[in-house]
Amino acid sequence: MPASASRSAELVADLVTLLRPLPEPVAELASRLALLLLAMRPDLEAKARLGWGSVNYRHPRAGFICAVFPMQDHVSLVFEHGRQLSSPLLEGDGKQVRFIRLVPGAPIPEDDLAILIAEAIALKA
């Protein structure tokens, strides 16, 4: 099995474990978001961090970019250097990290996310 296929299988298995205790609507949203980010940016490497309860995304040149954190009633997409990004979708008043709160049933703002991911990569690459 190619390395990318084994990484994908590992991610899916870890994603199932991570999402199992969550309500179905949140688990479905988190799964869609986690896989959407990889479809948008195949150059990202995703790794589920079961201890953190997240799926983290790294870029080969820019390093850690963002993470998907599923919660009981929503999913947060956290940007490591979100304070330096420009988007009305970003929330939080931390010195560095900002996030987008996604709720089940609401559309995922795919175009806005693609722009933010590209900005986050450009910022650190």
For residue 4, the model assigns a pLDDT of: 54
Cβ neighbours, 10 Å, residue 16: 12
Model's pTM, two decimal places? 0.91
For residue 27, the model assigns a pLDDT of: 96
CA distances to 12, 63, 84 from 93, rounded to whole Å, are 32, 23, 12
User: Greatest CA span in the chain, whole angstroms?
Assistant: 44
For residue 3, the model assigns a pLDDT of: 44
Look at strands 75-79 and 63-70 and give their pairing: antiparallel
- In the chain, % of residues over pLDDT 90: 82
Tokens 């956290």 belong to 78
Cβ neighbours, 10 Å, residue 91: 13
pLDDT tens by residue, 54-110: 999 999 999 999 999 999 999 999 999 999 998 999 999 989 999 999 999 999 999
